[in-house]
Amino acid sequence: MDRTRRRALQAGLALAGAALLPAAARERSHRAPIASTRSGRVLGLRDAVDGAADVLVFKGLPYGADTASTRFQPPRPEIPWRGVRDATRFGMHAPQNGELAPGGEDCLVLNVWTPALRDRAQRPVLVYIHGGAYNTGAGSDPLYDGVRLCRRGDVVVVTVNHRLNLFGYLHLGEFDTACADSGNVGQLDLIAALRWVREHAAEFGGDPGNVTVFGQSGGGAKIATLMAMPDAAGLFHRAMTMSGQQVTAAGPRAAAQRASLFLDALGLAPDRLDALRTLPIATLLQAAKTRDPSRVEDMSLYFGPVLDGRRLPRHPFHPDAPPQSAGIPMIIGNTRDETRAFLGNDPANHALTWAQLPERLRRHQYVDLPVETVIAEYRRLHPDWTPSRIFFAATTAGRSWRGAVQEAEARARQGAPTWVYQLDFPSPLDDGRFGAMHTLDIPLVFDTLRQPGSRTGDGPDAQRVCDAMSGALLAFARSGDPNHAGLPHWPRYDLDRRATMLFDVDSRVEDDPRGGERRLYERAPYVQRGTF
């Protein structure tokens, strides 16, 4: 998530709480919708879009209890309330470093946008899982506003908060069997949220038998992991991942080593885990900034899903696609210029010379191939490219894109229904220097081009791409196939054609559009960075 979006989200967050609406306020809000949940009634609000009928919005709905007293344990049900709970403000986001810091532990909340309540319309339910690399983010980002998507497709839209970073993925099971699930409680939160969605779908006008999960970056990775978790089986029926893959999970040894480094930063021995349950949030988040020695870049400790043999018994997409999800239709996508979002702010990266390229690429390439080999092959494939263009293409291919290829190939070998896309439409802002950057597909899918943090612009070209991408998601949610009238025919992905939808002002299908790069990076084995 870029800084602009973080600032917008931070500014827009309201105070969290379980405030019950006073009687006078309920009387003034007689037109506001009231829904019934398993723990009590909730009062939402109405949000009109483009002069159409109101969308009903419910924010900060609890799907689990405050986790402060149960750190590193699976989620527990929320505590019921009396009266009508105010659901007009976003709830607490998870503890985290960065511009949303510090957050709080009463963060198991979700938000719902729906055209109607209890009308038996059996609408598709779309559950969005936010990104942030398992470390940051919240479901209340303005780019995730569900009003336009809800109205455009006559669907129910849900966004979710859950535990992140050390609170959701610190593997303590090697030290204390009472914490056997701690490395995956963030995932278990998402499973609890999906169970809540299944239980309440009909109340909010949706179909519990037609739930689509979609997510970008870390959100896509969380979805890929859910596809291999037995506890998640049957809770969703379609999946769309956007620039987010999880081929391998953290091995238990590697995850335990990171936990040891974290404990060392706190000055705690492994036999003093009880202290972790009462230390202040800020103290724990500071210790999480410890450098991860397994990563090429200077990054803090990696916290992500753990191959614990319990909740996650296998790697998500290694050595093959998870059998439990073979029947789930899936869209796998990336953007053409992913790393311009991370590396494009440095002017030097836009003015590289051939002499500078090898060292710069060596620092940012996460596949262990000789940089001279990589550069030579790119120059052969694209003799007109500049050093900077090769730098951004190679770092993209060696980081996120290759994981997407691995997942698509595994699904193709399995015969599972899969469609692959690449976003080619470039951001028109900043003189186009960021191209089709990481996160650019979020507003194009949500139709939130005019929201704070959007980098798409709001001109007719951006709207045309938005219509194509948002329409594909809605068609997919409704039928399990993303084809619709606004697109050329989009074939399923297979190993013969490798058909890929290139979303642009004029979207088109191309077979194996980056075949040369794919064959180049196949020369090295793939292990998801940070997991070993």
CA distance linking residue 127 with residue 191, whole number of Å: 12
478 token code pair: 């409704």
Question: Does the annotation mark 510 as catalytic?
Answer: no
Q: Which of 29, 140, 182, 217 is catalytic?
A: 217
Q: Which of 78, 174, 338, 409 is catalytic?
A: 338
Residue 122: partners with Cβ closer than 8 Å, 6 or more residues away: 206, 207, 210
CA-CA-CA-CA torsion sign (276, 280, 283, 288): positive
Q: Which of 93, 237, 438, 484 is catalytic?
A: 438
Question: Does the annotation mark 217 as catalytic?
Answer: yes
Question: Does the annotation mark 338 as catalytic?
Answer: yes
CB atoms within 10 A of CB 464: 18
CA distance linking residue 57 with residue 439, whole number of Å: 25
* SS3 state at 465: helix
| The Cα angle at residue 253 between residues 251 and 259, in degrees rounded to 5 | 100
416 token code pair: 């599972």
Instruction: Enter the DSSP assignment of 386.
Output: -
CA distance linking residue 387 with residue 389, whole number of Å: 6
- Sheet of 84-86: strand order equals 34-37, 40-43, 84-86
Residue 280: partners with Cβ closer than 8 Å, 6 or more residues away: none
Q: Largest Cα–Cα distance of the chain, in whole Å?
A: 73
Catalytic center residues:
217, 338, 438
